[in-house]
């Protein structure tokens, strides 16, 4: 499932290829059971240009100073592509913005769990969704308040988009693997230093994935992402990777070096 790094990679593709181009058309593919802008909303964008982008957690926005903004949510398997004139279109294109010169911004979604909508005010949208601070930019004190004081499992705290926005199952497990914390540990039982370590690890992990353009094959071989199978060897000690369910989510961890506090 796309997480913050995939959303940031998509935002960057839009930033690099879809700004300051006049919109000439907006087309829908096969979008049954998908939320897409109505024709009146689509018509509002014709003749305008996008001039800026924004990302908060897993949410992507593209718009202009005087609005409106387009919000793209990748869902389970969505992606964003910017195509130049003459490039062939891929399958499963659900939403296309056509710019002058036949440049196109495609939203591709094979599983149809994503959606696109018009948003008048990004900050109001984030507030209405109840999203916490962005996981890549949250400060130490805010992280400690949001996650460190939680009485529930630390894995669940990391996944709560109301506490901090953008961390999903993969990078929550990676963070706990790197910092030696059992995913079922109550966050409020962690020493202050461990909470700080967890914040720095999560930020470093997310930034490293962002720097690869969310290409997991470019990540170091000793990361858990390459060993997410019960029975695989731990890369941080002589232990073995185990899986269990925490807060309804499958968690991969090493019980030998990930401790409960």
Can you name the CATH fold of 140-253? Helicase, Ruva Protein; domain 3 (1.10.8)
DSSP string, 163-215: TSBS--HHHHHHHHHHHTB-TTSBGGGS-HHHHHHHHHHHHHHHHHHHHTTS-
Numbered ranges of CATH 1.10.8.50 in the chain = 140-253
Is residue 72 packed enough to be buried (19+ CB in 10 Å), middle (13-18) or exposed (0-12)? buried
Q: Do 74 and 7 contact (CB within 8 A), yes or no?
A: yes
How far apart are alpha carbons 233 and 145 in whole angstroms?
Answer: 34
Q: CA-based Rg of the chain, rounded to a whole angstrom?
A: 20
Superfamily of domain 4-129: MutM-like, N-terminal (3.20.190.10)
- From first to last of its 261 residues, the chain has per-residue pLDDT tens of 789 999 999 999 999 999 999 999 999 999 999 999 999 999 999 999 999 999 999 999 999 988 899 999 999 999 999 998 888 888 999 999 999 999 999 999 999 999 999 999 999 999 999 999 999 999 999 999 999 889 999 999 999 999 999 999 999 999 999 999 999 999 999 998 999 999 999 999 999 999 999 999 999 999 999 999 999 999 999 999 999 999 999 999 999 999 987
Numbered ranges of CATH 3.20.190.10 in the chain = 4-129
How far apart are alpha carbons 14 and 17 in whole angstroms?
Answer: 5
Tokens representing residue 51 in the block: 């001039």
């Amino acid at each position: 499932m796309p997480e913050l790094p995939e959303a940031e990679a998509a935002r960057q593709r839009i930033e690099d290829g879809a700004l300051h181009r006049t919109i000439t058309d907006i087309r829908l593919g096969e979008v049954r059971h998908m939320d897409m802008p109505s024709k009146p909303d689509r018509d509002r964008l014709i003749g305008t240009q996008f001039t800026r982008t924004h990302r908060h957690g897993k949410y992507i926005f593209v718009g202009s100073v005087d609005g409106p903004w387009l919000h793209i949510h990748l869902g389970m398997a969505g992606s964003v592509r910017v195509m130049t004139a003459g490039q062939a279109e891929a399958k499963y294109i659900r939403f296309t913005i056509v710019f002058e010169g036949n440049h196109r911004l495609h939203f591709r979604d094979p599983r149809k769990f994503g959606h696109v909508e018009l948003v008048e005010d990004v900050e109001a949208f984030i507030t209405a969704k109840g999203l916490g601070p962005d996981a890549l930019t949250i400060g130490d004190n805010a992280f400690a308040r949001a996650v460190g004081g939680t009485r529930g499992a630390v894995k669940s705290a990391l996944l709560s988009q109301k506490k901090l926005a953008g961390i999903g199952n993969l990078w929550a497990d990676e963070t706990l693997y790197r910092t030696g914390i059992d995913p079922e540990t109550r966050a409020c039982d962690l020493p202050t230093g461990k909470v700080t370590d967890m914040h720095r690890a999560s930020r470093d992990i997310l930034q490293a994935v962002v720097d690869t353009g969310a290409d997991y094959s470019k990540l170091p071989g000793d990361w858990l992402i390459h060993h997410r199978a019960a029975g695989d060897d731990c890369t941080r000690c002589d232990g073995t990777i185990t899986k269990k369910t925490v807060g309804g989510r499958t968690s991969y961890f090493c019980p030998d070096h990930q401790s409960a506090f």
